[in-house]
């Protein structure tokens, strides 16, 4: 196949990135629950254990706290672990090691160590897995200085950002939306880096800026395409990193379009939309605003089991279309 | 012992482990360091009382033999993780008291450049990966360090110190299990001083001896009198040998006692004055070791006095160094949150 148009799924892109990282650096290894012969709950590690062996693709017991701590300890002492939480919800079990240890160790020790650990979190709703296997907890970790938190939205970025994370000397938390795993897209071969901390403009437009994260980037692009026929020209900013956040790209976009809609799957209140709204309101872009800022986020509820309820919990394309239209037409 | 006479060898043959294993000079160094730990903590406590140190601190006075005994067989590049009661571990692993005082004073010359204080004291160059403010927080990290040692074949052994309170944390159980299934070169050292803050082990822990927990993870569980240096050092020596041989982890329960309260806010309402005084008068680890050294002819009163004088000077010099050191600039507030890129 022609390399220029080679397509991989998001999951395959991550797997390829991990293989490249292990090929490039003997210190890189994988840890997690059922990532070996099982291939990972979402088949992201796949057959890597056959290629790299059980010393480098380590099945852990069901011990999220201990496992996360082992990864932190290995990172501090010279290894480059990539630790997979089977579901992002299980971050709750490993929170102590993530927040108190990984994030703070360098700081508490006055810069004497670095903690180059990568943690991967399959996140989000839409799989019928109900309230304890569907959450979007990235803003929790985004609130912690010392961590870097990323949400790649395409197969291309999933690979390039994972390789950036492995090369990063600090702890990087990757939130991967489970519904993206099967999404296909162009993924270059070989090693490349998509930098952490840089947002990407996925679609240029002049009437409205949508700042979206993870799977909401795809939904925002669909909404933008649908509104094209109505003469509404939308710019879609894929935030990609929520800590450190790319303020300038957001501010510049809002100055151009004069309207801002934030779209994210996590619970709306106290989420990334609040941060994006506030940084715009605090910036020179505030004077450019022609309409109030609008946020579309998850409902104030745990994720329900019933599929219709589940869908209604998080923003869908029609919700984005309606909100964008109202904003541009001055209904709000 | 090529140079030693047969008489000396024979005279040592019936003595406890450390007197057979280590030279008289090494053992006098141990006494020196035990005094250094004791006086360091007394000095820190006094500086706290005088308002020179803020925050809080957790003193290990009474537990010096445990820290020294465990670290005795460790090489300089072996690693430890420590606890909120970690001053003794830090000194035992080779830290300088001057830079420790500087850290407590919040100065840039401190081991953590004033960012960590007592509860995060560390000395990475000497293999101390840090004290920890979270009970059991360092245990999985030690297992990770041991995994690095095994993967990179460095031969390093890792010791994880923790208190009796940590044995009821999930992290303890998860970490011991992983160390056992992967046969990692790590030694778990529970310094059981009888109380997790105010709650006695009798009230908090279902097993009588924390070492019994080892059976659940198929590793040796060893109980030692933590106030007898030789007993602790012997157990550590065996555990280190086992770890270096690739035979996996050991759990050592070092039974000891803290003379001071949990932290500076402790009013000692959960134990009696008589209990504390009994431990201080009859089971003080420094007194016990010093007496043995003298009885066995390894040191005389003059030698003991010389150690005490030298330690007193080190402590005084250390405090002066800390006082004279510069405080961090406010502009450096956000340093070390992330690794600075060149």
Amino acid B11: pLDDT: 74
Q: Is B114 on the interface with A (CB under 8 A)?
A: yes
The percent of chain B in helix, strand and coil, each rounded to the nearest 5, is 50, 10, 40
Please determine, for residue B1, whether its predicted confidence score (pLDDT) is greater than 50: no
B170 domain-assigned: yes
CA A201, A206, A208, A212: dihedral to nearest 10 degrees? Answer: -10
User: For residue A261, what are the β-bridge partners?
Assistant: A210, A294
Query: Percentage of chain B with pLDDT > 70?
Result: 96
pLDDT tens digits, B231-271:
999 999 999 999 999 999 999 999 999 999 998 888 889 99
Q: Inform me whether the pLDDT recorded for B294 exceeds 70.
A: yes
Say which of B115, B149, B151 has its CB closest to residue A107.
Answer: B115
In a domain, B246, yes or no: yes
Residue B251 domain flag: yes
B115 to chain A, minimum CA–CA distance in Å? 5
Q: Is ipTM over 0.85?
A: yes
Residue A156 falls in the annotated catalytic set: no
Does B139 map to a domain?
A: yes
Q: Which residues of A touch B340 (CB under 8 A)?
A: 111
Within-domain flag for B202: yes
- Residue B109 covered by a domain: no
> Does B334 fall in a domain?
no
- The pLDDT of residue B9 is above 80: no
B99 pLDDT more than 50? yes
Contact yes or no for B266/B106 (Cβ under 8 A): no
Taking 90 as the threshold, does the pLDDT of residue B2 lie above it?
no
Q: Is residue B3 over pLDDT 60?
A: no
Domain of residue B260: give its range.
59-94+114-306
The verdict on B145 touching A (C-beta cutoff 8 Å) is yes
Quickly count: other Cβ atoms within 10 Å of residue B200's Cβ: 13
Instruction: Tell me the mean pLDDT per 10 residues along chain A, length 332.
Output: 79 98 98 98 98 98 98 98 98 98 98 98 97 98 98 98 98 98 98 98 98 98 97 98 98 98 98 98 98 98 98 98 96 68
In a domain, B102, yes or no: no
State yes or no: pLDDT of B27 exceeds 90.
yes
A64 is catalytic: yes
Number of structural domains, chain B?
1
Contact B115 A72 (CB under 8 A): no
* Tens-digit pLDDT profile for residues B300-310: 999 999 999 99
DSSP at B333: T
**Interchain proximity B335–A70, CB inside 8 Å:** no
Check which CATH number belongs to the domain holding B240 and give it. Answer: 3.40.50.970
Region B314-336: mean pLDDT is: 97
Rounded CA gap, A107 and A114, in Å? 9
Q: Tens of pLDDT along B156-197?
A: 999 999 999 999 999 999 999 999 999 999 999 999 999 999
| pLDDT above 70 (res B341) | no
Instruction: Average the pLDDT over B6-34 and give the result.
Output: 87
CA distance B60 to chain A (A): 21
pLDDT of residue A5: 84
CATH numbers and ranges of domains, chain A: 3-186 (3.40.50.970), 200-328 (3.40.50.920)
Strands A172-177 and A118-123: parallel
């Amino acid at each position: 196949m022609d390399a220029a148009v080679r397509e991989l799924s998001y999951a395959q892109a991550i797997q390829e990135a991990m293989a490249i990282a292990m090929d490039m650096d003997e210190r890189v290894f994988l840890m997690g629950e059922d990532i070996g012969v099982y291939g990972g709950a979402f088949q992201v590690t796949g057959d890597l254990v056959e290629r790299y062996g059980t010393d480098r693709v380590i099945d852990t017991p069901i011990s999220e706290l201990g496992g996360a701590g082992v990864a932190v300890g290995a990172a501090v002492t010279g290894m480059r672990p990539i630790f997979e939480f089977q579901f992002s919800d299980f971050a709750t079990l490993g929170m102590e090691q993530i927040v108190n240890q990984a994030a703070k160790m360098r700081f508490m020790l006055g810069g004497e160590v670095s903690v180059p650990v990568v943690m991967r979190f399959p996140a989000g709703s839409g799989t019928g897995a109900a309230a304890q296997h569907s959450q979007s907890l990235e803003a929790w970790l985004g609130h912690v200085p010392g961590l870097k938190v990323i949400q790649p939205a395409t197969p291309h970025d999933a690979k390039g950002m994972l390789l950036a994370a492995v090369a990063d000397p600090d702890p990087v938390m990757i939130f991967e939306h489970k519904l993206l795993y099967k999404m296909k897209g162009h993924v270059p071969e070989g090693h490349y880096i998509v930098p952490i901390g840089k947002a990407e403009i996925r679609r240029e437009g002049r009437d409205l800026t949508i700042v979206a994260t993870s799977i909401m980037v795809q939904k925002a692009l669909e909404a933008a395409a649908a509104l094209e026929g109505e003469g509404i020209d939308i710019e879609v900013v894929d935030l990609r990193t929520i800590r450190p956040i790319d303020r300038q790209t957001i501010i510049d976009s809002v100055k151009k379009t004069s309207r801002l809609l934030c779209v994210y799957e996590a619970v709306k209140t106290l989420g990334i939309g609040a941060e994006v709204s506030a940084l715009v309101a605090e910036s020179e872009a505030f004077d450019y605003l022609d309409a109030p800022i609008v946020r579309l986020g998850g409902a104030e509820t745990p994720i329900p089991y019933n599929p219709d309820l589940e869908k209604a919990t998080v923003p869908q394309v029609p919700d984005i279309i309606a909100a964008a239209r109202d904003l541009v037409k001055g209904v709000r | 012992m090529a140079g030693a006479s047969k008489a000396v060898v024979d005279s040592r043959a019936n003595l406890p482990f450390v007197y057979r294993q280590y030279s008289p000079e090494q053992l006098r160094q141990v006494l020196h360091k035990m005094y250094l730990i004791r006086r360091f903590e007394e000095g820190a406590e006094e500086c706290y009382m005088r308002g020179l140190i803020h925050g809080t601190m957790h003193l290990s006075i009474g537990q010096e033999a445990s820290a020294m005994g465990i670290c005795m067989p460790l090489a300089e590049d072996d690693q430890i993780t420590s606890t909120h009661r970690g001053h003794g571990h830090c000194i035992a692993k080779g830290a300088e008291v001057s830079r420790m005082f500087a850290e407590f004073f919040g100065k840039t010359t401190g081991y953590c450049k004033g960012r960590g204080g007592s509860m995060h004291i560390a000395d990475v160059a000497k293999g101390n990966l840090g004290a920890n403010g979270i009970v059991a927080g360092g245990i999985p990290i030690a297992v990770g360090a041991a995994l690095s040692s095994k993967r990179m074949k460095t031969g390093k052994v890792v010791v994880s110190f923790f208190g009796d309170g940590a044995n009821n944390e999930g992290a303890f159980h998860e970490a011991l299990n992983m160390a056992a299934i992967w046969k990692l070169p790590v030694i778990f050292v529970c310094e059981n001083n009888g109380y997790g803050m105010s709650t006695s082990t009798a009230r908090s822990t279902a097993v009588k001896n924390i070492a019994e927990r080892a059976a659940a993870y198929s590793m040796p569980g060893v109980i030692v009198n933590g106030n007898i240096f030789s007993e602790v050092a012997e157990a550590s020596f065996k555990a280190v040998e086992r770890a270096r041989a690739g035979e996996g982890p050991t759990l050592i329960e070092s039974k000891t006692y803290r003379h001071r309260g949990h932290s500076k806010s402790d009013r000692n309402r959960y134990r009696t004055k008589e209990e504390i005084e009994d431990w201080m008068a009859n089971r003080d680890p420094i007194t016990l070791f010093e007496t043995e050294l003298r009885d066995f002819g390894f040191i005389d009163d003059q030698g003991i006095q010389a150690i005490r004088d030298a330690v007193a000077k080190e402590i005084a010099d250390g405090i002066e160094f800390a006082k004279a050191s510069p405080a961090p600039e406010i502009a450096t507030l956000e340093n070390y949150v992330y690794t600075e890129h060149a």
